[in-house]
A = this chain, B = another copy of it.
Amino acid sequence: MNLIRGLLKEERTKIVLWVLDGLGGVPHPEHGNRTELEAAHTPNFDRLAAESAVGLSIPVRPGITPGSGPAHLALFGYDPERVQIGRGVLEAYGIGLTLENGDVAARGNFATLDPEGRVADRRAGRISSEECVRLVQKLQEAIPSVEGVQVILKPGKEHRFVVIFRGEGLGDKLPDTDPQKEGLFPVEPRGGDFPSRFTARVVKAFLQRAREVLRDEPRANGILLRGFSSIPNVQPFPGRYRLHPLALASYPMYRGITRILGMDTPMDLQTFDDELRLLKQEYERYDFFYIHFKDPDKAGEDGDFEKKVERLEEADRRLPEILDLEPDVLVITGDHATPTLLKSHSWHPVPLLIHSRVSGRDRVSGFNEAECRRGSLGILRAVEIMPLILANAKRLKKFGA
């Protein structure tokens, strides 16, 4: 990274990084031993791949299955083993909260506790989002602070919310209070170091107050907290790369990541259509565009091969809208593979395509795992993609005499 910093130069080139979430797959024995991408009819991707440099991207390391956080950090050029963003922080930023240094955030679930205090339903019967708003408001009014520490609450979807503890001397070394299993008692908050022991006291007091406030709720009479975390010390993306980035994502988690990295992140996008519309609308104002397409990952997690194929074909149909903007560099890849065979994220390498006037063209016959394996980019780590993007955008000077 120090190397890159010394080589950056200003250019007016425009970069589009299109992330197809869960893009990669493995050949599925029940589907002719093809991957979803091999089965999909993707004439636009295939044509572009033939005129691009292609390869395969390893999200973190061989064998490591990443969550969306590390996978995206790597794509943005941050070492995912060094920069780790806690779940609480991610959720907070995802729903529009901004943390101050020293804040501790956690993700909350409303839950149903039985009369002895054991967890009867970890999601309180998946109460509605409206119900969640009401409950969070009720809590916030009743508990503006505990132990001199400010409590900031914000509702998420259904049973989910975020809590931020703001005050002096808080630590974030706390295990989840969620026991992950019904029939068990919530885990007692216990701090792993001196400041976190203070946080534990604060959290305990907060949970006790919350139980009193929620006492008469038929379903949401308790709270479980997860992912206690403070804001990581991470270099903002714009200064790191001298880019003016716009992040287009319609799911909170991805917005959380890009907001933490200091990218301009509109919070009101609902669909991929919204993303593309804003891409066109704001194309002149920015020079780096991250676009997120969630659907392949969802279909992969569901183990729905045809659905994943169909969503990839939909992405292919939308490609011309991006090509029409004629970005100087267009990158298409995934944050990780989500093979329907596994019904989950996986460690498998992910197809990668970099197209620019100077990318070279590998003349492969399609955009899929097998063809990308033959490309000039080889099999590389996701964290190495940003320097390649900058090189293709002519934003890196020569290194050394």
Contacts and interface: CB of A to CB of B under 8 A. Distances in A.
Interface of A: 3, 7, 26-27, 33, 56, 60-71, 80-81, 84-87, 90, 227, 253, 339, 341-342, 344-349, 357-363, 369-370, 373-380, 384-392, 396-401
A348 B370 contact: no
B65 A387 contact: no
A65 B391 contact: yes
Contacts of A379: 376-379
A130 to B, nearest CB: 26
B388 A347 contact: yes
Given A3-B64, A27-B360, A63-B390, 8 more contacts: A3-B61, A7-B64, A33-B361, A62-B384, A64-B399, A65-B398, A68-B400, A376-B379
A401 B62 contact: no
- Taken together, the copies of this chain in the complex come to 2
Contact of A65 (B60, B81, B399): B399
Contact of A360 (B7, B253, B348, B377): B348
Contacts of A85: 400-401
A41 B358 CA distance: 24
Nearest to A72: B400
A34 to B, nearest CB: 10
B345 A67 contact: no
A94 to B, nearest CB: 11
Contacts of A56: 376, 378
A376 B369 contact: yes
A61 B387 contact: yes
A387 B62 contact: yes
Q: Helix, strand, loop or mixed for chain A's interface? A: loop
A7 B358 CA distance: 40
A64 B360 contact: no
A396 B26 contact: no
A99 to B, nearest CB: 16
Given A87-B401, A398-B66, A348 B376 contact: yes
Nearest to A107: B401
A61 B387 CA distance: 9
A2 B69 CA distance: 19
Given A374-B373, A378-B56, A391-B63, A358 B398 contact: no
Nearest to A345: B398
A255 B272 CA distance: 57
Given A70-B400, A84-B400, A27 B363 contact: yes
8 contacts: A3-B81, A61-B387, A63-B387, A63-B392, A67-B398, A67-B399, A68-B400, A339-B358
A370 B380 contact: no
A385 B62 CA distance: 8
A90 B401 contact: yes
A396 to B, nearest CB: 7
A369 B61 CA distance: 23
A348 B369 CA distance: 21
Contact of A27 (B81, B361, B375): B361
